[in-house]
Structure 1
Amino acid sequence: MTNIHGQELVIENLAAGYGKVQVLWDVSVRVAPGEFVAMIGANGAGKTTTLRAVSGVVKPSAGRITLGGQDITRASPSQIVALGLGHVPEGRELFPHMSVLENLELGAAMREEARHARAQTLEQVYGLFPRLQERAGQLAGTLSGGEQQMVAVGRALMGCPSVLVVDEPSLGLSPLMTQTVFGALKAVNAEGVSVLLVEQNVGLSLRLANRAYVLENGQVVKTGSGQELLADPAVREAYLAL
């Protein structure tokens, strides 16, 4: 997006959960400035909880998270957004009775820089997803699943993020729509935005990623380049059915 310089996201020895149920143990992940990093693992491995901790929705019980060198471990979601984080949540979480344009504009509301650049950023989002411009006045709840995913990604981009965390963007999408959404993520990353992706389509995410982490039972059990993990026999057997 406009004049974006990706920041570094560092997760160190993270522990987190819900109430008395611990989900993450000693998770450490690094996304270098401008890097595309994938996080893979079975359902229940702790991937979504990791992203929620990064965006301030879940408060860690131990560990540290920094964004661009600033400690955000105990920061509120609004403070974290203001520092440059964008979050595309699992399930999209749109406002169904608001228009596509209204949903997108909400993405720029929490950050002064984004508010000032709103018109230009909206043009860029429409460039990535021309269909959203065609549907700008349509209620978000009446869109197809793929179109709603475009709105969710576009809304996060309206905040002019330097780091984008994305949770299961291909869930429920057709192969063609999946390629469209992933193409947009790759384009955004090529412009400098750091990306941390959680995705069920392991083959596609590893092919796009500079580096990747494998989570099992709330712990990082393996890391390497995307290509290294694609060639790893254990990863291929567990996640690629090869």
Structure 2
Amino acid sequence: MTQRQANPIQGQELLIEHLAAGYGKVQVLWDVSVRVGPGEFVAMIGANGAGKTTTLRAVSGVVKPTAGRITLGGVDVTRAAPSTVVRLGLGHVPEGRELFAHMTVRENLELGAAMRPEARDAQATTLERVYALFPRLHERAGQLAGTLSGGEQQMVAVGRALMGLPSVLVVDEPSLGLSPLMTQTVFGALKAVNDDGVSVLLVEQNVGLSLRLAHRAYVLENGQVVKEGTGAALLADPAVRGAYLAL
């Protein structure tokens, strides 16, 4: 297996302060404050409808906040266009993967480098790094993305985000529909990326696995942060265990 190469980009801080957002007249987020420090792995957990995905969409510029502030590496991106946020170093792995089914694995991956000049310049090297994380993608490089298994498609989605050389990676429900083995593979790659210095904000229904990996975590309920702490502390919290781990 090819030896994994270190990520040339260092993690930046992502700061979300008193965020409010929604869709039209429907407000989803009321007062969300989350910090991901440089090189941190932070998890965001909560029930369906709590506002986790909306938070990530606001960070990436897809949803425009109605109040609050978002900064990436100290730069205010509260109402920035998605293309601007990507150029500043954000990588977003969306829920549902959103691949181009009739393009090959390699073509989908290469699209991830399109928005940043430095990513385009480093495309060949970064592609090798992605293949080192996910050797199966190297084997499937010429295959149409729509013909892959769900787990392989999730690898492509993560790899595509990494092709942009992100300093902050936000990941939405990466284990959705995956087998336990494939979930471990994807989470192992996220940990490796974080070990290389990339800041990670993870939204995930597999609460136990998320909290074991996370340095810190936040619990969202009804569009608000109701708990925060280290991953280990929240994993041991009786209220969290009762609500999300059925223990």
Q: Specify the TM-score bucket, using the shorter chain as the normaliser.
A: over 0.9
1:16 aligns to 2:53 (yes or no): no
Distance in 2, matches of 1:234 and 1:4, equals: 38
Give, as a single letter, the amino acid of the residue that structure 2 aligns with 1:46.
Answer: G
Asked if 1:122 is matched to 2:133, the reply is no
Structure 2 CA distance for aligned equivalents of residues 153 and 71 of structure 1:
25
After TM superposition, which residue ranges in structure 1, 4 or more long, deviate above 4 angstroms? none
Are 1:112 and 2:92 matched, yes or no?
no
Confirm whether residue 136 of structure 1 aligns to residue 132 of structure 2.
Answer: no
The correspondence of residues 1-242 of structure 1 with structure 2, limited to 5 A, is 1-242=6-247
Deviations 1:88-139 (A, max 9, x none): 0000000000000000000000001100000000000000000000000000
5+ residue gaps in structure 2?
1-5
TM-score, normalised by the number of residues in structure 2: 0.98
Letter in 1 for 2:228: T
Give the secondary structure class of the aligned counterpart of 2:79.
coil
CA deviations 1:157-205 (Å, max 9, x no partner) are 0000000000000000000000000000000000000000000000000
- Deviation string, structure 1 residues 38-60 (Cα, Å, up to 9, x no partner): 00000000000000000000000
| Structure 1 unmatched runs, 5+ | none
CA distance in 2, matches of 1:5, 1:149: 24
Question: SS of 1:230's equivalent?
Answer: helix
| Alignment length (residue pairs) | 242
TM-score normalised by the chain length of structure 1: 1.00
Tell me, what secondary structure is at the counterpart of 1:125? helix
Between the two proteins, what is the percent identity of the paired residues? 86
Distance in 2, matches of 1:203 and 1:112, equals 38
